[in-house]
Amino acid sequence: MSDVAVAGGRTAWRGRPGIEPQPAPAGFDGRRALQLSLAAIWLLDGVLQYQPFMYTKGFPQLLADTAAGNPAVIARPITWDATLVGHHLVLLNTVFATIQLLLGLGIAFRPTVRLALAVSIAWSLGVWWFGEGLGGVLNGGAAPFNGAPGGVILYALLAVLLWPADRPGLPDGLAPFVAARAVGARLARALWAVLWLSLAYFALLPVNRAPQALNGMIAGLEVGAPPWLDSIERGSAALVAHQGLAASIAFALAFVVIALGVNLPRRAARAAVVLAIVVSLVIWVVGEDLGMILASGATDPNSGPLLVLLALAYWPITAAAAAAAPAEGNRAR
């Protein structure tokens, strides 16, 4: 058997080789893990932007379609941008795709994570306007089941919440969840509430609570879906047939519970985050057809995966875990 000797404040182990204690692993850095997940999604976006479809007239037409229903001050720049892209399609689409790849690589590489996150915020805001028509929030057609308030604005929100620095005055880097480290718990909870309460509002818009609104939205996704996904969508569409109002109310209530849940004690807050993840996956699979990444024409995976990533940033953590994380996480600064 081994025995222990203490000398000079150090612990020495004597005995058979190979049984010495191993050093304890460094604290898990949840923020860095989420940054890498965000980087992976940016890389996926870049790859999708290189698809052959994006080099056809279908891409500028997709951009132009987002102008419909928006105020003129929003719609006219979108139309101008779509026309410009149509005239220089190969060059501009290649630039768009390359920028997104570079953002993903920049976030994944520690020395450039700050720069890449900062650029991603500006890029996301631009794409939200010129590529998504502000997610439809001004045209009366926004629906949480098809990506509102626009998947790309969630990239900007995540970049802010995952910024690699701890808020000044935070005791020893402690935070109740990862998203609170950069901006503080109060602002992080406020941003969470604004997002989910806005989804509740969108769910109750007249266009979304019509008897066949959700049914028609899901049924429209069945074309081109793989057989297993098509089966899920057909079953879901049948489930909500003529139940638009009830479905809208049910989703709105879930969104409100999620919005308020992060303010509750740790166990209840974790239940709210789990609910957010489940609802996000339902939206992604049933309402967004996995972002249509299995079919030609998708430019990103839509809002579902980003909502899941955002929910994980609000997962309540213990004081011990919070204290261990900065030692590893501050290297990303």
pLDDT in tens, 78-114: 999 999 999 999 999 999 999 999 999 999 999 999 9
Cβ pair 92, 85 in contact under 8 A: yes
Residue with tokens 């609910």: 275
Per the domain annotation, does 24 fall within a domain? no
The phi, psi pair for 13, rounded to 5°, reads: -110, 130
- 311 pLDDT tier (thresholds 50, 70, 90): very high
pLDDT in tens, 47-68: 999 999 999 999 999 999 999 9
- 145: tokens are 């089941």
Instruction: Count the Cβ atoms, other than its own, within 10 Å of residue 308.
Output: 19
Per the domain annotation, does 15 fall within a domain? no
Q: How far apart are CA 320 and CA 84, in angstroms?
A: 53
Does residue 283 register a pLDDT over 70?
Answer: yes
| pTM for the model | 0.85
Coil, helix or strand at residue 232: helix
- 165: tokens are 């620095």
Per the domain annotation, does 16 fall within a domain? no
Cβ pair 14, 2 in contact under 8 A: yes
Cβ pair 248, 214 in contact under 8 A: yes
- 132: tokens are 């998504």
Q: 21 vs 130, which has greater pLDDT? A: 130
Coil, helix or strand at residue 5: strand
- 43 pLDDT tier (thresholds 50, 70, 90): very high
Q: Using a pLDDT cut of 90, give the percent of the chain over it.
A: 60
Cβ pair 191, 313 in contact under 8 A: no
Cβ pair 262, 196 in contact under 8 A: no
- 260 pLDDT tier (thresholds 50, 70, 90): very high
- What is the 8-class DSSP label of residue 223? T
Per the domain annotation, does 5 fall within a domain? no
Q: Which residue, among 135, 62, 125, has the nearest Cα to 93 in the 3D structure?
A: 62
Q: Residue 179's domain spans which residues?
A: 30-332
* C-alpha 113: how far from chain center: 17
Cβ pair 304, 291 in contact under 8 A: yes
- What is the 8-class DSSP label of residue 136? G
Does residue 166 register a pLDDT over 90?
Answer: no
Per the domain annotation, does 4 fall within a domain? no
Per the domain annotation, does 125 fall within a domain? yes
Cβ pair 51, 323 in contact under 8 A: no
Average pLDDT, the chain: 85
Per the domain annotation, does 174 fall within a domain? yes
Q: Using a pLDDT cut of 70, give the percent of the chain over it.
A: 83
Residue with tokens 């909870």: 189
- 29: tokens are 């850095």
E-strand ranges in the chain read 3-7, 10-14
Coil, helix or strand at residue 300: coil
> Rg of the chain's alpha carbons, rounded to an integer?
23
Q: 131 vs 14, which has greater pLDDT? A: 131
The phi, psi pair for 38, rounded to 5°, reads: -65, -40
- What is the 8-class DSSP label of residue 14? E
Cβ pair 258, 307 in contact under 8 A: no
pLDDT at 233: 82
* C-alpha 332: how far from chain center: 20
What's the full length of the chain, in residues? Answer: 333
Per the domain annotation, does 76 fall within a domain? yes
Nearest-5° angle of CA 152, CA 156, CA 157?
110
- 27: tokens are 């604290």
Domain count, the chain: 1
